[in-house]
Structure 1
Amino acid sequence: MFKTKYLACMLGLGAMLAGPAFAQAPGVTDDSIKIGIFGPMTGSAALFGKAVFGVEAVYKDVNDHGGINGRKIDIVREDTGCDPTRGTAAVKKLISQSQVFAINGGLCSGVVMAVKEEVAKAGVPFVIIGAASSAISDPMMPNLFHPVATTSNVAKTMIDFAMTREGTKKIAVVSHSDDWGKSNRDPAVDHLKEAYGLDPVLDLTMERGSSDATPQILKIRNADADFVVLMMYPAEVAIFLRDAYKYGLKVPVLAPQSISLKDTRERVGNDAAVENLYVFYPYAHPTDSPEMEKWGKLINKYYPDERVESFSYLGMSGALAVVEALKAAGPDLTRQKFMDALNDLRDFDSGISSAPITFTPEDHAGIKGGAMATLDDGKVTVMKKWQDK
């Protein structure tokens, strides 16, 4: 009797001691890795949600080629509508209910900023899809990785581009007054002052939801600006360009990576109105080039009815970096091993982004650099210095 109880006790103790050695990380089974994805699939910012399909296409392609270290990626998607409250609920659901291994999400900076505390508390690895605010990764958060150009990097690129045109002295800035607008406007104004000793000739606001840019257009025209820097969302940029054309304002207009040339042209409905539009371009090649078209075909392989746009590619480099880190982490996958592998990523060239991705334990803003793009005879032209059309 005593021996039986003793043996049972020892077996139970042995199981307890052995249990953790065989325990899987959250979201990991012998044949799957659960990754949570969130973005604005509906609502006024649904254009940004196109990037989600690009990310998912990368993971589905990995699965079709056998997965990673014997495991396939199980995708769990949540829609945020670009709303911080919905975004917080979505992330809590991914962490607590879906119990994902990692999250690859976020296209609206306001949503990402709202969920950072929840993600930090849970310790879940979080790789951004496309949200750009510098405040997302500065100060650095150990489990958050930012494989897209930040607003600081974008702003500097835009200002430097304007200043490559000889004689540039007067730059007008128009931005939203919300946190997103400020996170784009502030580094642009600061860089203009610090690098070139200039203040904006005008520093104006145009709120989200505006339907008329006449007051801003008339002020810019009277100020005789050399360039206009717009730090606004797609709908308001289109309204600004429509009204600029209406009032004969032919000044070059620069916009951040949240703006798609072709989408803006369609919103405005007038090719001539977007002739002077230049946008920050996060890619290495024009979207209609063979190098980019292969990625568009990959998206359409899994989403045949999806219309591929510039935004469709935005998170694909980050997803490929996730895949690279999962491979490097090895078959005994843990969150810490995955994050260690991301921290070891150096000059990772996906062939998509305009600059390679590098993470270090001290810096999780992975992209440094970029270019500008414009439509020239209907084709996307990429440039790093001003060129007369």
Structure 2
Amino acid sequence: MAWRKRATTGALAALMFGLVTTGALAQKQYGPGVTDTEIKIGTTTPYSGPASAYAAGAISTTAYFAMINDQGGVNGRRINYISLDDAYSPPKTVEQIRRLIESDEVLFLVNPVGTATNMAVVKYINQKQVPHLFIGTGATVFNDPEHYPWTMGWTPHYASEGEIYAKYILATKPDARIAILSQNDDLGRDYLIGFRRGLGDKASTMIVSAQTYNTTDPTVDSQVVSLKTAGADMFVIFSVPKFAAQAIRKAYDIDWHPQEFVSSVGSSISGAIKPAGFEAAKGIISAAYQKDPADPQWRDDPAMKAWNVWMDKYNPHVDKSDYYAPYGYNIGYAVVQILKQCGDNLTRENIMKQASNLDMELPLLLPGIKLRTTPADLRPIKQMRLVRFNGERYVLFSDVLASQ
């Protein structure tokens, strides 16, 4: 009997050891760029070039991760955020993304900026099966789970935002004469598609002039002068901050004062409004999905108070009025939540699984707006509100508007 008891005890011990070992292996599953102490994440952003105003987003996300690392990281792992300059140039983006995936071996990519730049690498990234999360573009082409299952945007779709402006114009001034300046790429074209869709049958009569520019152009002065001669009383600007600032300033300088609309991606106070001049920009309408730190209604908001403390300590070189300061903070928050949900299963497949099933509130999104994704719809943000610049800050003036 004694030998039988010893054998049974030994068998139980072996079984328990096997279960513990199996459990430990199941608990810790690592993809590239992950160790017990570190998680590598990568991005590209234009620290230089015509869209350098966007770099404040990556700077702010980096600062958010610095705070998380000071707090001990995520489940004991520090975030190593490798952020490379691509100058808003697609060939440079290709080079830098390849470096991040093949040399740095990052686990995933977060918020690489730009429509044309992401278009240059999206097929490669999906072939490599690397999560391509919260990319800095609202182009509709990137919400395509069938062809790009590893890619998801962040910014609400440009076409949906364009449609929102069109419907507002139809409701408030159905006889408007509209002039449009747009970027000559997928960013500008998407906004135009949505805007024309929103105007419907009236698009052909209401749009009296449309001009485009290339990001390599030194200025848009000639386009603005041409648009003025069309006799428009509405001026819609679908551009990045640098050219939005030029367009706003030039219209003011030539004494053209239509009602102006600026796309959310070009509406940054520090990147577009300040360079144009506050007086020149007064009355501009845009759209927003995140809280504006300059808006006094958020003065006592606990999340905004925490953000101000963080800005002072971790992100002092970015202006608090910069659209991309809360933007980068929100993205950092979302990434950390995804990593927490992953636990010790830090594979690319699980990162994508968690990101594809989001139902998450963020501290600096406007009330009523959440991150929601499904495997069939990878757009995290689908709602916005209209805002008007009053000469000092943007003021909300609409309800939450849902994007299609």
The reply to whether TM is greater than 0.5 is yes
Give the TM-score of the pair, scaled to structure 1.
0.84
Asked if the contact 1:286/1:380 (under 8 Å) is kept, the reply is no
1:319 alignment partner in structure 2: 332
- Alpha-carbon distance between aligned partners in 1 of 2:143 and 2:99, rounded to the nearest angstrom: 23
Query: Aligned match of 2:370 in 356, 359, 369?
Result: 356
Shift in CA distance, 299/143, structure 1 to aligned 2, threshold 3 Å: farther
Say if 1:163 and 1:336 are closer, same or farther in 2 by CA, change over 3 A. Answer: same
Give, in angstroms, the shift of residue 312 of structure 1: 2.1
Q: How does 1:35-184 map to 2 (within 5 A)?
A: 35-138=41-144, 141-184=148-191
Moved more, 212-221 or 229-238: 212-221
Residue in 1 aligned with 2:280?
Answer: 273
Given the superposition, is the C-alpha separation of residues 99 and 253 from structure 1 closer, same or farther in structure 2, using an over 3 Å criterion? same
Q: What is the aligned-residue RMSD (CA, Å)?
A: 2.8
Q: Contact between 2:211 and 2:227, CA under 8 Å: does it hold in 1?
A: no
Q: Residues 29 and 346 of structure 2 are in contact (CA less than 8 Å); yes or no, is this contact kept in structure 1?
A: no
The residue that corresponds to 1:369 in the other structure is 383
1:38-67 deviation line (CA, Å, top 9, x unaligned): 211122211101000221222222222222
Inter-partner Cα distance in structure 2 for 1:143 and 1:215 = 38
Give CA deviations for 1:325-372 in whole Å, capped at 9, x if unaligned: 2111222322222221122212x1103234211110101111111123
Relative distance call for 1:297 and 1:115 in structure 2 (3 A) is: farther
Return the alpha-carbon distance in structure 1 between the equivalents of residues 308 and 263 of structure 2.
22
1:10 matched residue in structure 2: none
Q: Matched residue of 1:314: which SS?
A: helix
Match of 1:12 in 2: none
2:242 is aligned with 1:235:
yes
- How far is 1:86 from its partner? 1.0
Distance (Å, rounded) in 2 between the aligned partners of 1:212 and 1:66 = 48
Instruction: Say which of 210, 213, 217 aligns to 2:221.
Output: 213
- Residue identity over aligned pairs, in percent, reads 22
Pair 1:315–1:157, CA change in 2 (3 A): farther
Cα deviation, 1:220-275, whole Å, max 9, x if unaligned, reads 4543x34221112323222222222233222111111222134323222x332111
Kindly indicate whether the alpha-carbon contact (under 8 Å) linking 2:294 and 2:393 is maintained by their aligned counterparts in 1: no
TM-score for both structures, normalised by structure 2 = 0.81
Instruction: Evaluate the alpha carbon distance shift between residue 314 and residue 194 of structure 1 in structure 2; reply closer, same or farther with a 3 A threshold.
Output: farther
Could you tell me how far apart the structure 2 residues matched to 1:32 and 1:95 are?
16
Alpha-carbon spacing, 1:133–1:212, altered in 2? closer, same or farther (3 Å): closer
Q: Distance in 2 between matches of 1:318 and 1:358?
A: 14
Residues in 2 aligned to 1:298 and 1:321: alpha-carbon distance in whole angstroms = 16
Quote the offset at 1:110 in angstroms.
1.0
Q: Secondary structure at the match of 2:265?
A: coil
* Pair 351,112 (structure 1): closer, same or farther in 2 beyond 3 Å: same
Which ranges in structure 2 are unaligned for 5 or more consecutive residues?
A: 1-21, 400-404
Judge conservation of contact 1:109–1:136 (CA < 8 Å) in 2.
no
Distance in structure 2 (CA, Å) of the matches to 1:103 and 1:196: 39
Q: 1:185 to 1:315 in 2, by over 3 A?
A: farther
Change (3 A) 1:197 1:360: farther
Letter in 2 for 1:322: V
CA distance in 2, matches of 1:311, 1:39: 12
Q: Report the alpha carbon displacement of residue 281 of structure 1 after superposing the two structures with TM.
A: 2.1
Question: Cα distance, 1:109 vs. partner?
Answer: 1.1
Q: Distance in 2 between matches of 1:278 and 1:263?
A: 16
Q: 2:196 aligns with which of 178, 189, 193?
A: 189
1:135, distance to aligned residue in structure 2 (A): 1.5
TM-superposition CA deviations, 1:44-95 (whole Å, max 9, x none): 2111010002212222222222222232212222111111111111111111
Deviation digits for residues 284-333 of structure 1 (CA, Å, limit 9, x no counterpart): 34545434464254244223333341122223323322221211122232
Please give the alpha-carbon distance, in whole angstroms, between the structure 1 residues aligned to 2:201 and 2:346: 46
Name the CA shift for 1:211/1:68 in 2 (closer, same or farther; >3 Å): closer
Contact kept? 1:53, 1:299, Cα under 8 Å = no
Output the CA distance in 2 between the equivalents of 1:120 and 1:331.
Answer: 24
Structure 1 unaligned blocks of 5 or more: 1-17
Map 1:270-349; keep pairs closer than 5 Å: 270-288=277-295, 289-290=298-299, 291=301, 292=304, 294-308=306-320, 309-346=322-359, 348-349=360-361
Match of 2:128, as an amino acid?
Answer: A
The change in CA–CA distance for 1:244 and 1:306 in structure 2 (over 3 A counts) is closer
Tell me whether 1:380 sits opposite 2:394 in the alignment: yes
